[in-house]
Amino acid sequence: MSALLARALSVSAVGWQKMLTEGCSLEKALTFCLINQDQDLKAAVQSLLYSAVRQRAKTSLLLEKLVHKEPSPLNKAILSIALALLLEQKEKTFTVVNQAVEAVKSDPNNAWAAGFINAVLRNFLRNRSRLTASFETNLSARFNAPGWWISKIRRDYPQDWQSILTVQNKKPPLTLRINRAKTSVQAFLESLQAAGLKGQQIGRWAVMIEPACPVNQIPGFQKGLCSVQDAGSQLVTDFLSLKANDKVLDACAAPGGKTAQMLESCPLDVTAMEIDPQRAPLIQQTLDRLGLKATVVVGDASDKNSLKDIHEVDAILLDAPCTASGIVRRHPDIVWSRRPQDIALLASRQKKLLETLWEKLPAGKDLLYVVCSIFPEEGPEQIREFVSRHPDAQLKDKPGLEGGMLRLIPTEYEKNPVLPRNHDGFFYALLTKEPK
């Protein structure tokens, strides 16, 4: 990255300022600052912004010690990203300092700050040991999360909170879902080996590639032999019993990964509904790459009017909007963009979706509720309250879904042999509707 570093620092500083001042997501910041940029620069900027997010608590602590007067937003952004690089030690220190100075000089209106940036970064390098000594005892710096987030997980998981936060602060593996309609896991593993890539099966249809590589290097990806999907997210077809020609409603479908997974399992009549008209096209893009067909509609699944044209269904999948607290290692900005009050707001949204969709579900049929959250309010508490309100709702056992519910916490070493070995955090509940 060295040759691109100065340019990448300048561009990523724009995205970093947008995240801090406007509270936008990492994904939106990247979209904003990478318009019309070349592919090499895009990859470099993405890497820099992910590094900045993963080191955010530490660099904030360092800047408090290194800078006595609040720098301009631009210079603070450049310092934050450069310090993150120095902490990760993936680039030579003199290269990072030199290219940070060059990035500042490239802006005529900010060139005066080159000496300041140089002095701050060199001060850090001279005093690295002393300045980083507090990281281990400062929980926010250690786990790269705000205090309320750490306290919340500590209360909810008193035995596992440290392992959860540790895993969430790591880079995620490259996990694929193998398209069972086109190939087998064994055949796909053989194709990886022939291409000089290393893969291992970690779930029923899940393969992990180590080290990770760009998807365009994965054999068969463009032909639809596989899709990128965390192994913990691949349990839908294990828990939701589907048979050929069943009519299924995927109620919150974008970007279409679970829609595709169901269609790969057997021929189905799937209606994929998405409330966001900008995200709905992603479903069709996913289906087109895999050669699959579904009816894609834009609509709010919590609104009865959106469901009036959908006739009797055999199953409903509700992959509900949530805090995404279980997938932080893939979206490290979540811990900084979420607020404590978001949990109750999203739980209320989930409740409304459940109530509306339950009316749509015929007696004798199943609804699978899924969230990529580890917070109880969005998982077991949500479902227990729902069942208490609906005498016709029963939790349904399945292997790996004992008692009708499953809480997956982020782990690299799952102990339950029925479940994928490496996965993010999810909650599943399978509800069946009893005749009244």
Catalytic residue among 226, 252, 322, 372: 372
| Sign, Cα dihedral of 347, 349, 355, 358 | negative
Residue 344 tokens read as: 């109750």
Distance CA 326, CA 276 (A): 22
Exposure b/e, 131-164, CB count within 10 A at least 16 = b: beeebeeebbbbbbbbeebbebbeebbeebbeeb
Residue 279's CB is within 10 A of a number of other CB atoms, namely 15
The helix (run of H) or strand (run of E) holding residue 427 is strand 426-433
Cα(303)–Cα(319) distance, integer angstroms: 16
Which runs of consecutive H residues, i.e. helices, occur in 157-256? 161-168, 185-194, 236-239
C-alpha of 137 from chain center = 28
Give CA–CA dist 389/355, Å, rounded. Answer: 10
3-state SS assignment for residue 394: strand
- Taking Cα atoms as reference points, which of 388, 413, 340, 430 lies closest to residue 156? 340
Q: Is 372 a catalytic residue?
A: yes
Strands of 199-201's sheet, edge to edge?
199-201, 206-209, 174-178, 226-228
Query: b/e per residue, 44-60, with b = 16+ CB within 10 A?
Result: bbbebbbbbbbbbbbbe
Active site residue ranges = 372
